[in-house]
Chain A
Amino acid sequence: MNETREKTLVDILDKKMNRQLLYYLDICTRCSICKDACHQYVSTRDVLYLPAYRAELIRRVYKKYFTGMGQFIPALGEAREIDDKLLDELYQTTYACTGCRRCMFYCPFSIDTTWILSVAKAMLIAAGRGSQILAELSGASISKGENIDLFKDIIIDTLKSTEKELQEKVGDAKANIPIGKEGADTLYVALAGTHTILPAAIIFHQARVNWTLSLFEASNYGYFLGNVPQAKTIAQRIVDEARRLKVKEVVITECGHAYRVMSHFYETWAGEKHLFKVRSILEVIAEYIREGKIKLARGHVSKPLTYHEPCQVGRNAGFYEEPRYIVRQVASDFRELTPNRERNWCCGGGGGLVAEFEFDDLRIKTGERKVQQIRETGAEIVVSPCENCRLQLDTLNEKYNMEIEIISMMDLVVDAMVIDKAAN
């Protein structure tokens, strides 16, 4: 590796340094408690996937270039120079990580491995070795945002048939899917495609909400890629739209990371406060049910049903009660996975892994915990409010012959909704 490239990468670690990161780099004792926390390590028994080892790669670089020990007795801490071998290992450990942060829960010092790996991603990107497919996805999102006028009419056009479905479902010929409606209270951010638009439209219509649909998809592959400027640009499309339309709240669809990007990261990235509330569709639905704005047929689903807790929804965003409240309204035989809540296992598909085909084998192999967990419940239906989780569960369903049905929370709700067509 040439010296300028080495220096560039060291500079990135220097620039990315912050107090939280420094704590994490300094205090790890390599006790390896985290090994049993990581679904990838547990399934592969490969030290590359041991959370502390993933972090240790960056720690060894930090020791080499930023500590006295690295200067004088590098061997003591196995301080490492940045070379191609290190970058190879970093790529494998970093982009394989699903970002579930289960290791942080179990770490006696609460070290956030993903926070350390975010530096690894920045270094890999600078070395021209970021995940190619995530970069393409991120680039496509940005390009779509820049050229939205080209796509606006196409999007509106494709929604016509969705609008018809909405009208049939609610029995109201005037029911519509508003786009770019100024003065709406709620800006709903869906995913690309229509499968997360129709159920939301039905829910908003029945709850009589003054809403409008975002032109942009919630998912943020810049975040998975670890490219903060790009991730910010992608999220900013929505923030700008929300400001232009003067909405009171932005509601993010069932998408684990999208909610976190908007509510936990964006303000720091942009250095400005949101002028609107950010809510997850989960808390919105739970509120509508509580306030009687939508009515669900209790016990509508009698088949055994379980809830797969997306890590970005549970452990990393704190929505533990809302999804369970909703599920209990609808399912008469709700069965919890064990363990659950903050201890829940990652499904194996987070962090953009479902799009990174190079990790397909790993992703399928490391889903075995989730498969086992679901099988133990005897559930026939798995509901999960995260697109990445559902894509992974679909894969697992097929590869492990699970014969289960995987549905989204909104589909569960809409299916059980009591719609008085005469009243509409």
Chain B
Amino acid sequence: MSDEIKVDLELDVRKLLCPMPMVRVSQNIGKVPVGGVIRAVATDPGSLADIPSWARTTGNEVIKTERNDGEFVFYVKRVK
């Protein structure tokens, strides 16, 4: 599935503690075009609530979340 999503920016936010993964995504969302996608890999489980909540309030979209081996992968689409 994940192969089908075109990723514009890879973001490694592993080992960062919350809310820094969310902060990094916010910091970088402007770097992808509208409709573009950031793939962020985090290790702090707090990001499972943080990043979707952030997306909801900023009008962006988490189109997919993966969990593997203590890592959480977010596909965040820039909506506006």
A: residues with CB less than 8 A from B are: 133, 136-137, 139-144, 147, 150-151, 154-155, 158, 161, 191-195, 217, 219, 221, 354-355, 357, 387, 391
B53 to chain A, nearest CB (A): 4
CA distance A328 to B18 in the complex (A): 30
Residues of B within 8 A of A139 (CB): 53-54, 57-58
A391 and B20 contact, CB distance less than 8 A: yes
Q: A154-B48, A217-B46 are in contact. Are A193 and B53 (CB under 8 A)?
A: no
Q: A136-B26, A140-B22, A357-B27 are in contact. Are A391 and B17 (CB under 8 A)?
A: yes
CA distance A136 to B50 in the complex (A): 11
Encode B57-77 as 1/0 by CB contact (under 8 A) with A: 110000000000010000000
Residues of B within 8 A of A391 (CB): 17, 20
* Most chain B CB within a 10 A radius of its CB, from A133, A143, A219: A143
B53 and A147 contact, CB distance less than 8 A: yes
Q: Answer whether residue B44 sits at the interface, using C-beta atoms and an 8 A cutoff.
A: yes
B19, B52, B58: the one contacting A192 at CB < 8 Å is: B19
Q: Answer whether residue B49 sits at the interface, using C-beta atoms and an 8 A cutoff.
A: yes
Which chain A residue shows the least CB distance to B58?
A: A136
B66 to chain A, nearest CB (A): 13
| Top 3 closest pairs, chain A to chain B, by CB | A192-B46, A139-B57, A192-B18
Q: Answer whether residue B5 sits at the interface, using C-beta atoms and an 8 A cutoff.
A: no
Give the number of residues in B that approach A within 8 Å (Cβ atoms). Answer: 22
CA distance A301 to B70 in the complex (A): 30
A143, A161, A191, A217: the one contacting B57 at CB < 8 Å is: A143
A143 and B44 contact, CB distance less than 8 A: no
B17, B23, B53: the one contacting A143 at CB < 8 Å is: B53
CA distance A147 to B62 in the complex (A): 15
CA distance A192 to B42 in the complex (A): 13
Q: A139-B58, A151-B49 are in contact. Are A387 and B20 (CB under 8 A)?
A: no
CA distance A315 to B71 in the complex (A): 39
Q: Answer whether residue B56 sits at the interface, using C-beta atoms and an 8 A cutoff.
A: yes
A136, A151, A158, A191: the one contacting B54 at CB < 8 Å is: A136
CA distance A330 to B23 in the complex (A): 35
Which chain A residue shows the least CB distance to B24?
A: A357
Q: A158-B48, A193-B45, A355-B20 are in contact. Are A133 and B27 (CB under 8 A)?
A: yes
Q: Is the interface of A mostly helix, strand, loop or mixed?
A: helix
Supplied contacts A133-B23, A191-B46, 18 more A-B pairs, CB within 8 Å: A133-B26, A133-B27, A136-B22, A137-B22, A137-B23, A139-B53, A140-B19, A140-B53, A140-B57, A143-B54, A143-B57, A144-B50, A151-B48, A154-B49, A192-B18, A193-B18, A193-B46, A221-B19
A63 to chain B, nearest CB (A): 38
Q: A136-B54, A140-B22, A155-B49 are in contact. Are A193 and B27 (CB under 8 A)?
A: no
Q: A136-B54, A192-B44, A391-B17 are in contact. Are A144 and B49 (CB under 8 A)?
A: yes
B49 and A137 contact, CB distance less than 8 A: no
B49 and A192 contact, CB distance less than 8 A: yes
A193 and B17 contact, CB distance less than 8 A: yes
B23, B46, B48, B58: the one contacting A355 at CB < 8 Å is: B23
A164 to chain B, nearest CB (A): 12
CA distance A137 to B58 in the complex (A): 10
Considering only residues 8-64 of chain B, those with a C-beta below 8 Å from chain A are 17-20, 22-23, 26-27, 44-50, 52-54, 56-58
